[in-house]
Structure 1
């Protein structure tokens, strides 16, 4: 069987991506061009329409995306992190690395509440970066802490990416939410250890915040921290618990979160017609971008498979006779490299539909109880891997977000240097999940 056309289709996609042409248009255009070049019957293209409406636009699970986006935007508008940063700094005042730990704490709260990487990075870059530099923190270390904790939102549930994964991989979204909690906590612990290492061996890079002349009692500070945490924590727990426990579907859980975020903004007196209008417009733009890519990727993958692309990939894997773990490692490497040039949305809709069927058929022996466990483990590794797509130059969006609001003396080279250790820690997390699948599979089974 000739694999010329599917190979050319992949090559055309790579050329188009590097040309800077919008990926959604590129996917749709290439599917039409190669349908005629490959002499695929025009009637077959009606399957694309059926899939677009049946699998994308009418998909009940994907309806959770605009609700989660709206929830995150409204929580960001509520300014839940503004006071919390200062209270956490007071909690760690006088200790080397204390401010860095406070920033990581804010990153965890923002990740579990808004889930919007741009909002988290911009917020912490605006609030924390000038404060950290004024306290004498190493410039690259401060940048790394902010970028690492600011991108946790793409992994920690409720995450839009996990909703997309659930649809693409045909894995229950509730299981995905449960499976990423331990890896998310592990990654946050890696960041904390990164700060503590410098606090012990290079304290000049993370100097302590000066102790106030009139220090406040520790109990009072803790009460204020809990006060600022309790409302967003209850909201997130209600959303996650309802979905993971199977009480509500992801869409119903997202609706609970969106309604709760709206009420919280109202109670904090941050809700106005202008804020609501801005939030709705941002939600529509983000949702439209995701669904547009889903439509283009649906057309591309269908024509690619009709030209023999899926068989080509399966034959290539079989020809090398590689271990299943080596195959998964190769896919992880490919996804990591694609993250230098593409967003997580594009990689999710392009790569996962092609490789998920192959991973599902790999023989791992007795390492996994079922095919669903394999796909769940693979999905969590991909999710952690895709977090690096926000941080790897030249197109890591989090780098652009931070550069846009950073002080003038913070150069692009400083940002690149600061993010490299964080990328290394994220790859270490991928390796840990690969070696110890229970990190991803234990909690879903327990729940």
Structure 2
């Protein structure tokens, strides 16, 4: 039989899951459930003689306020609005449009060349913005009309765009990786380095698939006609379009990797660099600056609103003995340590259908992190594996987040079934990447070990 505190923990988790489906904002659900169960647990302990574990008096509310204050005053949190501003400003800077034109001129003459160009732009956007929704929407608006005009298969084009946009999860500087590092007290620099090779590897797998598929079935991705011949001028112009975003990426990541700047300081460099790129392309104005600043404020407020609710939820759940309950539940599974990790990843995969990465990172990750350490695994390796799994769930029908982003801006001729069909091969590549990282830890740990020993 379950003890009283275990029943309360299960009721708290179950209430949260059920209330998610009401459509009520997640931040308020988290905060409301926390308040309700903290009051209920204290009353049960004091008036019903129930064993509610650690949560026995009203001091829990003071602890919640103190924990929220500690969370909000962390220096690393300053990096979030800076990286959000950087991504939104790059979206308005014209860099992606210029890359698209030049990559089409260079690669569009080959079967699948335009698809390769979109993936390369997706990699650059991922390393520049780290925002999945923005990347998917921007890539869709830029490339889908061009690919359809070039007689690309609607399903093939949709799969390329949706998968390329989700690379923002893995390729640093990723906002998700920053939050995950904060939740498990990991070095952001270590996590960025650990995610770099798997993220780039995934991009290379996408490119290889597009090239092979277009070679085996040319009708999927025919070449573009009436392109100018490849000359030195075309190559130079393409390099000139790549150099600004590449320089920005190197400035941000390089300053972190070589210890020149902290991630927070590097985020300021990125925000300034994106603003300079917009000015160089003639896209910077007071209207653009005001709009980007407004969207940055709204996005940051949304993120921190969920932070407040998730922090309260985590404090109350742990005070009820939630950590011990989850750890006992997972370690009691009759599987090897690797099998338990797979169970955790499967839970994260399912959660990705209903919750955004932010809620999963703030709620689930801190609960399973101690179990991962207890099982003897490296946390940096696990977090990268966890992020890859979330990326897979964002692509998986019927409710993958990236699919909704894409459908919202796709041309009318692209149907939902086209999107579902198009992402299937890329989901298989995602599963391959998860498998490689699961069985070969050096893919994640080699670069941090080389840099930091």
Q: Is this a same-fold pair by TM over 0.5?
A: yes
Q: CA deviation at 1:321?
A: 4.1
Residue 262 of structure 2 is aligned to residue 259 of structure 1: no
Provide the C-alpha distance between the structure 1 equivalents of 2:384 and 2:161, rounded to a whole number of angstroms. 23
Counterpart pick for 1:396 among 400, 403, 407: 400
**Residue 158 of structure 2: aligned partner:** 143
Q: CA deviation at 1:129?
A: 0.8
Residue 209 of structure 2 is aligned to residue 194 of structure 1: yes
The superposition leaves residues 156-193 of structure 1 with CA deviations (integer Å, 9 ceiling, x where unpaired) of 11111111011001110011111111011111011112
Map 1:158-307 → 2, pairs under 5 A: 158-212=173-227, 215-307=228-320
Change (3 A) 1:247 1:35: same
Question: Does the 8 A contact of 2:353 with 2:401 survive in 1?
Answer: no
Residue 432 of structure 2 is aligned to residue 428 of structure 1: yes
**Residue 321 of structure 2: aligned partner:** 308
Provide the C-alpha distance between the structure 1 equivalents of 2:408 and 2:16, rounded to a whole number of angstroms. 30
SS in structure 2 of the partner of residue 19 of structure 1: coil
RMSD across aligned positions (CA): 1.5
Change (3 A) 1:299 1:417: same
Question: Does the 8 A contact of 2:88 with 2:292 survive in 1?
Answer: yes
Residue 53 of structure 2 is aligned to residue 50 of structure 1: no
Provide the C-alpha distance between the structure 1 equivalents of 2:230 and 2:391, rounded to a whole number of angstroms. 39
Provide the C-alpha distance between the structure 2 equivalents of 1:390 and 1:255, rounded to a whole number of angstroms. 29
Provide the C-alpha distance between the structure 2 equivalents of 1:244 and 1:94, rounded to a whole number of angstroms. 37
The superposition leaves residues 118-175 of structure 1 with CA deviations (integer Å, 9 ceiling, x where unpaired) of 2222222122111111212111111000111111112211111111011001110011
Provide the C-alpha distance between the structure 2 equivalents of 1:393 and 1:63, rounded to a whole number of angstroms. 35
SS in structure 1 of the partner of residue 214 of structure 2: helix
**Residue 370 of structure 1: aligned partner:** none
Give the aligned length. Answer: 435
The superposition leaves residues 86-131 of structure 1 with CA deviations (integer Å, 9 ceiling, x where unpaired) of 2112212432111111111111111111222222222221221111
Question: Does the 8 A contact of 2:109 with 2:223 survive in 1?
Answer: yes
Residue 8 of structure 2 is aligned to residue 5 of structure 1: yes
**Residue 365 of structure 2: aligned partner:** 352
Which residues of structure 1 form unaligned runs of 5+? Answer: 365-373
The superposition leaves residues 205-224 of structure 1 with CA deviations (integer Å, 9 ceiling, x where unpaired) of 11122243xx3343222111
Provide the C-alpha distance between the structure 2 equivalents of 1:382 and 1:219, rounded to a whole number of angstroms. 44
Provide the C-alpha distance between the structure 1 equivalents of 2:181 and 2:333, rounded to a whole number of angstroms. 30
Q: CA deviation at 1:423?
A: 2.2
**Residue 384 of structure 2: aligned partner:** 380
Q: CA deviation at 1:393?
A: 3.9
Provide the C-alpha distance between the structure 2 equivalents of 1:30 and 1:95, rounded to a whole number of angstroms. 56
Which residues of structure 2 form unaligned runs of 5+? Answer: 43-54
Question: Does the 8 A contact of 2:106 with 2:230 survive in 1?
Answer: no
Residue 93 of structure 2 is aligned to residue 89 of structure 1: no
Provide the C-alpha distance between the structure 2 equivalents of 1:162 and 1:6, rounded to a whole number of angstroms. 28
SS in structure 2 of the partner of residue 38 of structure 1: helix
Question: Does the 8 A contact of 1:343 with 1:389 survive in 2?
Answer: no
**Residue 79 of structure 1: aligned partner:** 94
Question: Does the 8 A contact of 2:113 with 2:211 survive in 1?
Answer: no
Provide the C-alpha distance between the structure 2 equivalents of 1:397 and 1:7, rounded to a whole number of angstroms. 27
Question: Does the 8 A contact of 1:335 with 1:385 survive in 2?
Answer: yes
The worse-fitting range, judged by mean Cα deviation, of 397-406 and 13-22 is 397-406
